[in-house]
């Protein structure tokens, strides 16, 4: 177990980047952020079916100083007519889901066997006249 590596992972800051051109590649995003500080990982989110970029992704910086520099320098930057937004990514666990309403119990209008409308099966039929 490498304690230094564990501490380094804790210091890393994940940035959420949105608004860059859909044809931008990870290497281009890496070059852009490397000017502001040391980058550990770049991930561009793509469509499952088409494989095309969705125009947003994540950049993991190795320290807070580099992340702060990247936010100041790149947030609001115009690339190919699109304004880029850069901010610290929210932790999935910290984002609360909307409250889910408690399921209502189904109660039929007719509450019991006796109240079911009769379809005529219980009626006593008179015998037919054969003549």
- Mean pLDDT of all residues in the chain? 81
**Is 122 domain-assigned?**
no
Count of domains observed in the chain: 1
Task: Specify the pLDDT at position 17.
Answer: 96
**Is 42 domain-assigned?**
yes
**Is 56 domain-assigned?**
yes
Provide the domain limits for residue 36.
12-90
**Is 67 domain-assigned?**
yes
Question: What confidence tens digit (pLDDT) does each residue in 49-97 have?
Answer: 999 999 999 999 999 999 999 999 999 999 999 999 999 998 765 555 5
> Tell me, what CATH number does 83's domain have?
3.30.70.330
Evaluate whether 59 touches 15 at the Cβ level (below 8 Å).
yes
Q: Is pTM beyond 0.95 here?
A: no
Distance CA 61, CA 40 (A): 6
**Is 65 domain-assigned?**
yes
Task: Specify the pLDDT at position 6.
Answer: 47
Distance CA 9, CA 70 (A): 19
**Is 54 domain-assigned?**
yes
């Amino acid at each position: 177990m490498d304690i230094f590596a564990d501490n380094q992972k804790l210091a890393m800051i994940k940035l959420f980047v949105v608004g860059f051109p859909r044809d931008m590649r990870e290497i281009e995003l890496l070059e852009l952020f490397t000017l502001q500080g040391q980058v550990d990982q770049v991930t561009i989110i793509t469509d499952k079916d088409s494989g095309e970029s969705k125009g947003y992704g994540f950049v993991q910086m190795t320290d807070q100083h580099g992340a702060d520099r990247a936010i100041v320098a790149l947030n609001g930057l115009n690339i190919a007519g699109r304004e880029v937004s850069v901010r610290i990514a929210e932790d999935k666990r910290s984002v609360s889901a909307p409250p889910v309403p408690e399921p209502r119990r189904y109660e039929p209008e007719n509450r019991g066997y006796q109240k079911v409308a009769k379809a005529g099966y219980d009626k006593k039929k008179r015998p037919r006249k054969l003549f």
